[in-house]
Amino acid sequence: MVEEISNTELQELIFIIQHQYGYDFSDYAQASLKRRFIRFMGHAQLEKLAELKLQLQTDPDFFKKMVEYITVNVTEMFRDPQFYQLLRDDVLPRLATYPIIKIWHAGCATGEEVYSMAIMLQEAGLLERSRIYATDMNAANLEKANTGIVPLRWMKDYTHNYIQSGGLHDFSDYYTARYDSAIINPALRRNIIFFQHNLVTDHVFNEFQLICCRNVFIYFNRTLQERVVTLFYDSLAPRGYLALGMKESLLFSKERKKFEVVNGPNKIFRRKY
Amino acid sequence: MHSSTRFDIIAIGGSAGSLSVVARLLKALPGEMDTPVVLIMHRLKNVSSELNRLLAFGRPIQEPEDKERMKAGHIYLAPQNYHLLLEADGTFSLDYSELVHYSRPAIDESFYSIADAYGKRALGILLSGANADGAEGLARIVKNGGAGIVQDPMEAEFRIMPQAAIDMSADIKIMKTDEIISFIKDQYHTK
C-alpha cells in the first residue's frame, strides 16, 4: 500500500491529469490533495503509484471515478446551525428587498446545503422569487443533488441542526421517507438549477445577491483562493453577501478590503460597493 | 533570546484521559521555547469544547484558520469538524472530508502531513486514548526521521492509543508525563 506521495510524484500526477483531461489541480492545497490521492489508491486497491499513473493514462472512466472520489463531497443539511440562524435572522430580511433573489451555491457537493437554503427561503416566504444556482465540478455530485434523495439515517442529525438553527416547523414536513431514503419535497426544488461549473477554470455567469461557498476554499492554495475571491467579487451585486466555511478566511486575500465583515466568527462578508 | 533546538514543530495527540496530561505538558513548557505546538484532541461534533478554557495558561491557545501561517511560540488546537494538515511552507490546511477512526479531527491525518512536511524536524507525542488513532501517524513521524514519544501505557488512563503506537514501531520512546516534560526541557536548554 502507498503511504506517501512525494512532491515530485504529486507534480507528475497533476501534469498527467492536466495534459490528458484538462483538469488543473496545480493550485489545490498540497497536503489535502496528496491525502486524497493516497486514499483513492487504497479505495481502488492500487499498490503502486505506477499503476495509478498507467490507469490514468489509459482509462478515461477510471479518471472520472478518481475525480469523483478525490473531490471532497462531505456535507450536511444545516451544517453549523448558528450560521443558518444568522442567515435566517440577518441576511434573508435584507435579501427580501430585491424583486428577484439570486443565490449561488458554489461547490454544492450533493446539495444538502442548497436544500437547507430552499427550506429557509420557503419559511421566509421568499422561495417563489428566488433563483438558486447550485454548481459543482463533480458531475456525479450534481446528479445525486438533483434527485433530492438523502440517506434517511442522517435525518435525525439534520433535524437537530434544523431546530438549532431556529427552525420552527416540523422538519419531517420537508421530506418523504421511503425505505432508507428521504426524498426532499419536490416543491422545494422548483427554483433550483444544478449545473457543472469549475471554480478553477470557469468564469462569471450571473450576478448574485448571495454566494455560499462553504468548505471549498480549504482545498485550494492561496493563489487559487485569490482567483476565486475575485471571481466571487465580480459575481456579486454591490452590497451582495458572501458566506464561507467556519474556518475559512478572507484575511489572507488581497481582495479583503473590498469586502466588509458582516459576522466574523460565522464568516459572512459583504461586497462593499 | 531564542534557544536552538532540532524541532520546528511539536504535535501532541490525545483522546480519552489525555486532557489533564496536555494541561500539565503545556504548563511546563519552557518560557523561552519558540517552537509552535499543535494539539489534536478528539472532541465531540458540534459541541463547543471547554478545552480552550481548561488549557488557557499564559500562552493563548488558538484554533487556526485555513491557510494561516504557524507562528513561533504559539499553541494551536485542531478545530472541531476539520482534519488539520500542515503544509511544507508552514501554513495550515483544513480538510472537511470523511471521519478517520470515527473522528474529525483525526490525529493520524495531522501526523502524516507533519511527517511529510517536517521530516526530522518534527516531534510527535501521543497520549492516553481509547482507540488507535495517532499510532500509525506517530510511526510515520519516526520513520521520516522525527522523534516520537508515547505516554507510558502503565501511566495512561486509557492505554490503547499509546500501546498501538508502541506495537507499530520500536523507535518510539515510552515516557511518563514527567519524563516527557524533562525531555522537552532538555531540548531547550540554551546552549
Determine, yes or no, domain membership for B154: yes
Determine, yes or no, domain membership for B2: no
Ramachandran category for residue A66: left, alpha or beta (phi over 0 → left; psi -120 to 50 → alpha): alpha
Q: Alpha carbon A47 to chain centroid distance?
A: 31
> Residue B95 and residue B104: Cα distance in Å, rounded?
9
A110-159: pLDDT as tens digits: 999 999 999 999 999 999 999 999 999 999 999 999 999 999 999 999 99
Helix (H) or strand (E) holding A117: helix A112-123
By Cβ distance, the residue of B93, B112, B140 closest to A218 is B93
Beta strand spans in A87-174 (E) = 101-106, 130-136, 149-151
Helix (H) or strand (E) holding A176: strand A175-178
Taking contacts as CB-CB distances below 8 angstroms, the residues of chain B near A81 are 46
- Determine how many CB atoms are found less than 10 A away from the CB of residue B95: 28
By Cβ distance, the residue of B46, B96, B115 closest to A218 is B96
Determine, yes or no, domain membership for B1: no
Q: Compute the mean pLDDT over every residue in chain A, rounded to the nearest whole number.
A: 95
- Closest by alpha carbon to A173, among A184, A157, A158? A184
Residue B48 pLDDT greater than 60, yes or no: no
From the candidates B42, B101, B128, B152, give the one annotated as an active-site residue: B42
Determine, yes or no, domain membership for B177: yes
Residue with the three cell numbers 489535502: A32
Taking contacts as CB-CB distances below 8 angstroms, the residues of chain A near B97 are 32, 36, 72, 74
Taking contacts as CB-CB distances below 8 angstroms, the residues of chain B near A249 are 65-68
Determine, yes or no, domain membership for B25: yes
> Residue A124 and residue A87: Cα distance in Å, rounded?
11
CA distances from B100 to A86, A113, B81, B97, B117 (A): 31, 23, 11, 9, 20
Whether B182 sits among the annotated catalytic residues: the reply is: no
A32 to B117: CB separation less than 8 angstroms, yes or no: no
Determine, yes or no, domain membership for B42: yes
Whether B103 sits among the annotated catalytic residues: the reply is: no
Phi, psi of B18 (to 5 degrees): -100, -15
Interfacial residues of A (vs B; Cβ cutoff 8 Å):
3-4, 7, 29-32, 34-36, 72, 74, 81, 161, 215, 217-219, 221-222, 225, 245-249, 251-252
Determine, yes or no, domain membership for B27: yes
Q: Which of A154-163, A173-182, A208-217, B28-37 has the lowest mean pLDDT?
A: B28-37
A33-48: pLDDT as tens digits: 999 999 999 999 999 9
Q: Alpha carbon A250 to chain centroid distance?
A: 17
Counted domains in chain B: 1
User: Residue ranges of the domains in chain A?
Assistant: 7-70, 81-271
Q: What is the domain-level CATH number for residue B27?
A: 3.40.50.180
Taking contacts as CB-CB distances below 8 angstroms, the residues of chain A near B66 are 217-218, 245, 247-249
B136 in Cβ contact with B168 (< 8 Å): yes
B5-14: pLDDT as tens digits: 789 999 999 9
Which fold does the domain A81-271 belong to in CATH? Rossmann fold (3.40.50)
Whole domain around residue B136: which residue ranges? 9-187
Determine, yes or no, domain membership for B152: yes
Name A28's bridge partners.
A220
In this structure, which amino acid lies at residue A41? M
Angle, alpha carbons A62-A218-A227 (nearest 5°): 90
Residue with the three cell numbers 450560521: A83
